[in-house]
Structure 1
């Protein structure tokens, strides 16, 4: 199996598009700013090009992991120790039978949803508890990542 870096990059970029919509003042932006304790003045002092570049870089790292959670064939590949040449015949038989099975946007989005719900949400909620943030803050940020993971998972899983 080969890593599809273009799919990972496009999936990473999708988080910016979702963010532009999700954190727009007409959607959740105003509530998020209030719950985060941010003001427009505080936001103006930021180096936005660096923030966006780092956001895409971090989303790319997330995409690297999401590919292994959404594409089942990576599990079979990992059982070979990463070396198909030394794999047992069962690997070749498995890939012949299931090589492109479940490689759809819908399937990737489903696994992205599960990853967001059972990984991103608990992490964000735990931090929010210790930071004394509200449940609104928790649900806005968790919702963003759940949606992002769904779209990222769908892109990565479907792009063959």
Structure 2
């Protein structure tokens, strides 16, 4: 079984809080977001921010779990054999020997995560906004935030696997 790098995923799960504190800051897009989202300062003050942050990190952890499969090709190779390396044919072992660390960089992970943002996250926000009668400004603000955020998360997750000492699918 390919190992899951929980340290990379936990680190990446902190990224939404960091990028969100910048993106949604009043001097960046925060004031505009509050207006288009229909949020006011009173509503924000009456919330349990500790609970919101903890739940946000948990949800970002789930996003990170999915991003590893979207950014690391070797997980796809494992899926092709049904998930059990012990039942794999010699061709799988040869593939993993040749490509064990191939395409494992921050840039590669960021590229795949960016494409996920553009072709998955943006349409999700767009569909919801159409039915919720939200503006395109609302869509671009939120989808833009998430596309940038998961781009960084994907880069961290994919790049971390290339770090020596955490070699994914070491050949037998």
Q: TM-score, normalised by structure 1?
A: 0.98
- Report the aligned-residue RMSD: 0.7
CA offsets 1:13-55 (integer angstroms, 9 cap, x no match): 1111000000000110000000011110111111111111111
CA offsets 1:75-103 (integer angstroms, 9 cap, x no match): 11112211111111011010011100000
Rounded to whole Å, the distance in 2 between the matches of 1:69 and 1:80 is 17
Rounded to whole Å, the distance in 2 between the matches of 1:54 and 1:120 is 20
Residue aligning to 1:50: 51
Rounded to whole Å, the distance in 2 between the matches of 1:124 and 1:58 is 17
Rounded to whole Å, the distance in 2 between the matches of 1:129 and 1:59 is 25
Rounded to whole Å, the distance in 1 between the matches of 2:4 and 2:131 is 37
Q: TM-score, normalised by structure 2?
A: 0.91
Residue aligning to 2:167: none
Unaligned runs of 5+ in 1: none
Once the two structures are superposed, the pairs formed by residues 1-160 of structure 1 within 5 Å of their partners are: 1-160=2-161
Aligned residues: 160
